[in-house]
Amino acid sequence: MKLSVVVPCYNEEDNIGKLKTEFFPVMEKLIGSRLPDGAQIDLIEIVFVDDGSKDSTYQTLKSAFGSYDHPAIAVKFEKHEANRGLGAALKTGFKAVTGDVIITTDSDGTYHFSTIPEMLRHLTKDVAIVTASPYHPKGEVVGVPPFRVFLSRGSSLLYRILLNWKIHTYTALFRVYRREVVDQIPFAANDFLGQTELLVKAMLKGYRVDEFPAALHRRVFGVSKARLIQTIKSHLTFQTRLLLHRLHIRSMFAE
């Protein structure tokens, strides 16, 4: 079985050292391990997507990992000439990957890379998506600015009300997808709404989601790239559409 990992990057040159010391060792240890359904991870491909960084992220990635040599791990690089947004970076990454199971992860390690094997253990036979969940009763938030937690948790709360109360976190990038989900569920958003839109549309199509109670940490280097006003607007617009969709479905059954 081939495992693919998509790592979007935007102005992350200061975090590339962390990728080398914390991310790649985890990838190497995954070779030969098995998923809950018994599938063995024989190959891994890692796709870095530089989303039009203004610093030397792309050059530093190529310098650090361009000559990386492991018989079972391949490294690919994709680049946007201009910043297009996280959703656009995910689309580019999904087009480039060839694996049966796909992980998406932040490049800054705010969800510790060391927890990837544990997250994969949640991908049981009947589960299509595993999503990190700091807002799960067993999850936690460590050192993240309160206003960011308030906005993210508040947004997830609205999705819980509109869609599925049992899922606590809808905004995390740190996830595992079966290939079928990525191939079958299109999403339109190019910004930070992208991963939420993909999750919501997959759930509406009946794909089962499991939560991985995770710890969300404050980033050590750099600053968050989320454009707060635009992100809030995007989520509210999407939530309004979701509400109208739910009301339309209810009216059809009422008739």
* Residues 152-179: tens digit of each pLDDT: 999 999 999 999 999 999 999 999 999 9
pLDDT band at 214 (very low <50, low <70, confident <90, very high): very high
pLDDT band at 220 (very low <50, low <70, confident <90, very high): low
Structural domain that includes position 100:
2-254
The amino acid sitting at 8 is P
**Can you tell me the distance from the alpha carbon of 32 to that of 37, in angstroms, rounded to the nearest whole number?**
14
pLDDT at position 228, please?
72
**Can you tell me the distance from the alpha carbon of 251 to that of 86, in angstroms, rounded to the nearest whole number?**
35
Place of tokens 């191939």: 183
**Can you tell me the distance from the alpha carbon of 3 to that of 33, in angstroms, rounded to the nearest whole number?**
11
* Statement: residue 248 has pLDDT above 80: no
Alpha helices in 15-166 (DSSP H): 16-18, 24-30, 57-65, 86-96, 116-120, 146-162
Average pLDDT over residues 219-240: 75
pLDDT at position 191, please?
95
Q: What percent of the chain clears pLDDT 70, i.e. is strictly above it?
A: 93
Query: DSSP 3-state assignment of 217?
Result: strand
Burial degree of 32 (CB within 10 A; 0-12, 13-18, 19+): exposed
CATH number, domain containing residue 122: 3.90.550.10
Residue 213's closest CA among 107, 101, 119, 113? 119
SS (H, E, C) 169-207: CCCCCCEEEEHHHHHHCCCCCCCCCHHHHHHHHHHHCCC
Average pLDDT over residues 102-114: 96
Instruction: Look at the chain and report how many structural domains it folds into.
Output: 1
**Can you tell me the distance from the alpha carbon of 187 to that of 190, in angstroms, rounded to the nearest whole number?**
9
Q: What does the mean pLDDT of the chain come to?
A: 94
* Statement: residue 219 has pLDDT above 70: no
